[in-house]
A and B are shown apart, each in its own frame.
Chain A
């Protein structure tokens, strides 16, 4: 993992705490870092240049906010700018007044068109529509079979025949009318943007079916070439939006920014896994922080919101910071966390975690092992791990099928963690109100966090409208949270 951008900024800004404004030299130093971070994230060079220019203009002469330190402030500007660039107008899917609504998918080989055709069909199904999948990829061996298999899995009919792609697409419209399907999703063969023959072919398909939406399927791992590719597809097909795929890896996804800048159309969907359900509306703010290597706290928080019971989590956090957290609490929280998905993914989303933790091989069998050990303890042992002596340890080890040393390890780590958390809370600043204190920020008095906003915000606990990407959500919370988590 690279040094995160905010770490670098922190260094740059060490000397300028007292000043009221960012000056030219500060800005230039940070812009160099921003440029590097963006290029490392595969944002196209031209896009990087225009972005850094815009960030410079915004940052120059900006009043320093009281609530944020200078580095946080610049991070916020950069994040805002990226979020705006990635977001903009959300794609509103409206349905044709005279069905079917036709969606055409295009993209390079291997970007994930076929898989995402099925995912999109599933999505439409969830919206109460009746999609028809059309296999117009007659190029790649077994592409149609792949679509048929996927269609079966989600119970959506697939239309195809061995003729020419244009013919298949045309016939599919009739088929849709005949079988009363109101959405038609046309999967096409992968093609290189510079392959004129195939680009002409897809132009023909497009004019044959006259799609309401033409979506470009883009691999999140794409490099500098994303711009060339997007431009060519946009010129041939007049794109309406983008599906970003393979976001579940560790690619920073800068290509999305490049494509967005070139095409100027929204990123409508993001595919975040191999399962058909791993497909969702796109959140610009999340990708923005990811491009900068800042973790994906928003997704994490959202998952936490779904999985955690607020009361319970609050109590657990309080006990954690007081140092009275028991193994029983730990077990309980573990159950909640399991609901949030694979632990490895969650850890990956956490900003500021030490490198070892990020790269550690974490799968859920490890969790099960820990769980097994704790479950082999008596309630008394869970509440007071100190009572566990050699013979108890052996019994627990036998009960959970591990070595006694592993039990010891777990207990040692657990008590270390308890100790650590207690220290954190001890250092907690008086500036925080009691609840905010439990968030465990290190004592150093940065003009930290969003403490100032808490009181006004708490009264309006309503969930921000999920899914509507209209005004991109502001990830203001990120720098502060990151600082806190770095403490671990």
Chain B
């Protein structure tokens, strides 16, 4: 720690000094300017037709990709271009360069081994390969505890903690999950742990009313840990087995905010509660940064699963393949809209089908 600070300060001093010169060096004349070219086609996205199933909801985005994928999985024999197109298609789905190249290499050697030369057969191979990378993960939501759920006749609630960067849909996800639990006849207490963003508590309150579950709030700017702690105590006192805790969105690079999150997790277990799930909410439109999110939130609060939201848009959320592979954290739920029922369990086959249909 000291070394870093000293290095940083030394560097900054030099920068302070160099600033003077550097400012002037900027004045060097620039080369010729280049015209921006308008890139791309003018196709309008497909119409949106709402239907509350994973496959149907995803279907509306298929058209956008299918034209492109025709060149990958269309007719004809496999050639070098096919592999390039396959890799490009994966990159476009935010799978990432490294993972895409890896998938293509694996499929390519399998195709060679099996003597596959036909593109339609190839499609099967690709899907199988990606599905296999998403298989073998436990996607269930745990409320179980090693010891019994009560102690001295007092309930010991399970806590599901929701974390993520700003604007991914944490509060909405809790709203939907609370509804899901409540409809299944389980009682839930919501903890309005986002005490930072304006009106976040009100937003969660609306969801709690919609699904008829209790909510514990603190005042704006209150310590989120204390709100979560209160919610756990409240649940324990009323024999409610589950607490869902909202937290303020935070960028994974903000050390102090990540520290705050660690504390929330610690304090959630200080009383009667046990954190049985820590769900990282990721926006499907996010690109490669999602991996950094998963890594750093994972380090801070030991993420047990991912909720992939906004998958009803045109984004594919392909980065979760890398998240499965690198961090061993599975996607548990998928958000498909703003309605209270628009949250479904993740299914690898359907996810992959949506990538490629």
Question: In the bound complex, do residue A225 and residue B316 qualify as a contact, i.e. CB atoms below 8 Å apart?
Answer: yes
Is A96 positioned at the interface, with any CB of B under 8 Å from its CB? no
- Which residues of A348-402 are within 8 A (CB) of B? 348, 350, 353, 356-357, 360-363, 366-367, 370
Q: A81-B34, A248-B251 are in contact. Are A320 and B13 (CB under 8 A)?
A: yes
Contact B17 A317 (CB under 8 A): yes
B11 near A350 (CB under 8 angstroms)? Answer: yes
A27 sits at the interface (CB 8 A):
no
> Which residues of chain A have C-beta atoms less than 8 A from B285's C-beta?
108, 219, 222-223, 225-226, 229
Across the interface, which residues of A come within 8 angstroms of B113, CB to CB?
Answer: none
Give the most central of B25, B31, B91, B290: most A CB within 10 Å: B25
Interface residues in A207-227 by Cβ distance below 8 A to B read 219, 221-227
Please tell me if the beta carbons of A477 and B25 are within 8 angstroms of each other in the complex: yes
* Residue numbers in B under 8 Å from A148 (CB-CB): 199
Interface-side segment among B116-124, B132-140, B231-239, B306-314: B306-314
Chain A contact residues, majority secondary structure: helix
Q: Which residues of A contact B37 (CB under 8 A)?
A: 50
- Nearest Cβ on chain A to B117's Cβ, whole angstroms: 27
Give CA–CA (A464, B32) in the complex, Å. 20
Q: Known contacts A140-B203, A227-B40, A476-B26; is A246 also within 8 Å of B166 by CB?
A: yes
**Closest beta carbon of chain A to B62's beta carbon, Å:** 11
Q: A58-B34, A112-B167 are in contact. Are A142 and B202 (CB under 8 A)?
A: yes
Given the contacts A223-B315, A347-B4, A488-B10, A317 and B16 also touching, CB distance less than 8 Å: yes
In the complex with contacts A225-B316, A366-B1, A249-B287 CB distance below 8 A? no
Distance between Cα atoms of A475 and B15 in the complex (Å)? 15
Residue from A142, A313, A416, A454 having most chain B Cβ neighbours under 10 A: A142
Stretch at the interface among A5-13, A15-23, A174-182, A192-200: A192-200
Which chain A positions have C-beta within 8 A of B286? 219, 221-223
Q: What is the CA–CA distance of A473 and B7 in the complex, to the nearest angstrom?
A: 28
A301→B207 CA distance, assembly (Å): 46
Q: What does the 1/0 interface line of A426-452 toward B look like (CB < 8 Å)? A: 000000000110111000000000100
Q: Does A157 contact B (CB under 8 A)?
A: no
Enumerate B185-207 residues with CB–CB distance to A below 8 Å: 196-200, 202-203, 205-207
Cross-chain contact of B289 among A58, A108, A250, A370 (Cβ < 8 A) = A250
Q: Please determine whether A142 and B206 come into contact, CB atoms closer than 8 angstroms.
A: yes
Complex interface: chain A residues within 8 A of B168 (CB): 110
Judge whether A346 is part of the interface by a CB distance below 8 angstroms: yes
Contact B9 A333 (CB under 8 A): yes
> When chains A and B are docked, how far (Å) is the Cα of A454 from the Cα of B21?
7
CB distance from B229 to the nearest CB of A (A): 23
- The answer on a CB contact under 8 Å between B313 and A108 is yes
Contact B255 A361 (CB under 8 A): yes
A244 and B94 CA atoms in complex are apart in Å by 20
- Within the complex, what minimum Cβ distance (angstroms) separates B37 from chain A? 6
Which residues of chain B have C-beta atoms less than 8 A from A44's C-beta?
Answer: 92
- Of chain B, the residue at the smallest CB distance from A308 is B16
Is A262 positioned at the interface, with any CB of B under 8 Å from its CB? yes
Known A350-B8, A436-B21; contact A80-B313, beta-carbon cutoff 8 A: no
CA distance A409 to B5 in the complex (A): 12
Residues on A with beta carbons closer than 8 Å to the beta carbon of B197: 146
Query: How many angstroms from the CA of A350 to the CA of B2 in the assembled complex?
Result: 17
Q: Which residues of B contact A249 (CB under 8 A)?
A: 165, 251-253, 289
B12 lies within 8 A of A225 (CB): no
- A149 engages B199 (CB within 8 Å): yes
Q: Are B4 and A250 in contact (CB under 8 A)?
A: no
B342 to chain A, nearest CB (A): 12
How many angstroms between the C-alpha atoms of A19 and B38 in the bound complex? 36
B36 in the interface (beta carbon within 8 A): yes
Contact A320 to B10, CB < 8 A, known contacts A221-B287, A255-B287, A313-B16: yes
Q: Is B144 an interface residue (CB 8 A)?
A: no
CB of B64 within 8 A of chain A?
Answer: yes
7 CB contacts below 8 A, A to B, read: A110-B169, A145-B199, A196-B48, A250-B252, A366-B5, A406-B2, A464-B27
CB within 8 Å of B: which residues of A? 36, 39-42, 44-47, 50, 54, 58, 77, 80-81, 84-85, 88, 108-112, 139-143, 145-150, 153, 192-197, 219, 221-229, 231-232, 235, 246, 248-252, 254-255, 261-262, 264, 274, 297, 300-301, 304-305, 307-308, 310, 313-314, 316-317, 320, 330, 333-334, 336-337, 340, 343-344, 346-348, 350, 353, 356-357, 360-363, 366-367, 370, 406, 409-410, 413-414, 416-417, 421, 435-436, 438-440, 450, 453-454, 457-458, 460-461, 463-464, 471-477, 480-481, 484-485, 488
10 interchain residue pairs of minimum CB distance: A223-B287, A110-B167, A457-B24, A42-B287, A141-B206, A149-B198, A146-B199, A308-B16, A142-B202, A225-B315
